[in-house]
């Protein structure tokens, strides 16, 4: 894990950059400002910029930056991401996240996830306690690759903590910490698996209901890919399945999932801390917790980052930061 803690002076400079940017842009429309945000990121403290460039080059599995500025009068945790969107909650913190994230690559969004917003709100919601989404609380979020279903899924998942009074843990498992038999690895390196969108991606059906996983668009591919000595990982046990009837692939995936769970580490995000999880090298999840729904619950800002946005343009045939 690569860690950087801003000094008080660096924190002050970062806050000044964010405040000056917002003063020049009275209406918060992040998609219109992405290039300007990337330019403003070049004004961030030199030590932070050097650390992020070095961590990117080294392909650090988990990168954390702490002591980022937060509003001293931070509003209560929203009751849902819909309310956070409606109220424009914690816009300054969104900008700080995008500034730092821009040092690693290009933030982007999904058209069918949280209304296509560039930055998402992660907070518990009533009625969603046991869902398989970030709005849940009373069910363990299975270790997963973010947006496992898409070839242009992010290289990084960025999670910035605004509030976490109960020390709810983010679980992380690194593919290079998993010891698998050669025969199992061989199976996982083959295109014998289907990858589906998770429940945070909204796919309606003809009758207006919610599409089940098998009704959603999916891709076929391998769980392990890339250099054999430095493999990358693509898996979400809830939304990945072997090809029908392939019992060998089913056993290999189950063993991989079990080994990942056994090796998982727990990272507790603190207010003003952002974690960039390499979406090719680690899978992540979240602990169970009991929400209070009183404005003090865990609250994160999240965005996805791609190291080269042009590969999404090539894949989709559109020059857009919003993927379908």
Q: What is the predicted pLDDT for the residue at 210?
A: 53
Place of tokens 């330019």: 39
Backbone angles phi, psi at 188, to 5 degrees: -65, -20
pTM of the model: 0.94
Token pair 């932070």 is found at 48
pLDDT tens-digit readout, 274-310? 999 999 999 999 999 999 999 999 999 999 999 999 9
Query: Is pLDDT of 151 > 70?
Result: yes
State pLDDT tens for residues 207-262.
445 555 566 688 999 999 999 889 999 999 999 999 999 999 999 999 999 999 99
Please give the Cα distance from 228 to 99 (Å, whole number).
34
Strands 322-323 and 106-110: parallel
How far apart (Å, rounded) are the C-alpha atoms in residues 162 and 74? 8
Residue 66 vs residues 61, 108, 123, 249: alpha-carbon distances, Å: 17, 23, 20, 41
Which tokens in the block code for residue 269? 């995000």
Number of CB atoms found within 10 A of residue 19's CB: 13
What mean pLDDT is predicted for residues 256-276?
A: 97
**DSSP H/E element including 324:** none
Side by side, the strands of the sheet bearing 193-195 are 219-221, 193-195, 240-242
First to last CA, the chain: 32
Residues in the chain: 324
Mean per-residue pLDDT of the chain: 93
């Amino acid at each position: 894990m690569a860690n950087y803690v801003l000094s008080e002076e660096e924190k002050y400079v970062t806050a000044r950059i964010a405040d000056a940017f917002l003063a020049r842009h009275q209406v918060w429309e992040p998609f219109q400002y992405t290039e300007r945000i990337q330019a403003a990121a070049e004004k961030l403290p030199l030590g932070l910029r050097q650390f992020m460039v070095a961590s990117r080059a080294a392909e650090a599995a988990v990168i954390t930056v702490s002591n980022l500025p937060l509003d001293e009068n931070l509003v209560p945790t929203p009751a849902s991401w819909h309310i956070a969107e409606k109220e424009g909650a914690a816009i300054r913190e969104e900008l700080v996240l995008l500034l730092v994230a821009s040092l690693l690559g290009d933030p982007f969004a999904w058209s069918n996830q949280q209304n296509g917003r560039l930055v998402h709100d992660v907070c518990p919601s009533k009625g969603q306690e046991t869902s398989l989404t970030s709005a849940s609380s009373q069910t363990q979020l299975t270790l997963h690759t973010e947006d496992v279903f898409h070839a242009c899924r992010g290289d990084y998942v960025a999670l910035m903590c605004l509030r976490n009074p109960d020390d709810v843990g983010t679980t992380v498992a690194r593919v290079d910490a998993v010891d698998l038999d050669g025969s199992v690895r061989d199976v996982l390196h083959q295109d014998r698996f289907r990858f589906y969108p998770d429940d945070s991606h909204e796919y309606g059906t003809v009758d207006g209901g919610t599409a089940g996983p098998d009704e959603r668009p999916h891709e076929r591919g391998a769980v392990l890919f890339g250099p054999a000595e430095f493999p990358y990982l693509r898996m979400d046990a809830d939304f990945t399945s072997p090809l029908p009837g392939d019992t060998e692939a089913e056993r290999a995936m189950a063993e991989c999932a079990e080994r990942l769970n056994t090796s998982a580490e727990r990272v507790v995000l603190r207010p003003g801390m952002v974690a960039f999880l390499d979406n090719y090298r680690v899978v992540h999840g979240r602990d169970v917790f009991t929400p209070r729904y009183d404005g003090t619950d865990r609250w994160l800002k999240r965005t996805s980052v791609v190291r080269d946005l042009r590969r999404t343009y090539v894949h989709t045939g559109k020059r857009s930061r919003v993927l379908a």
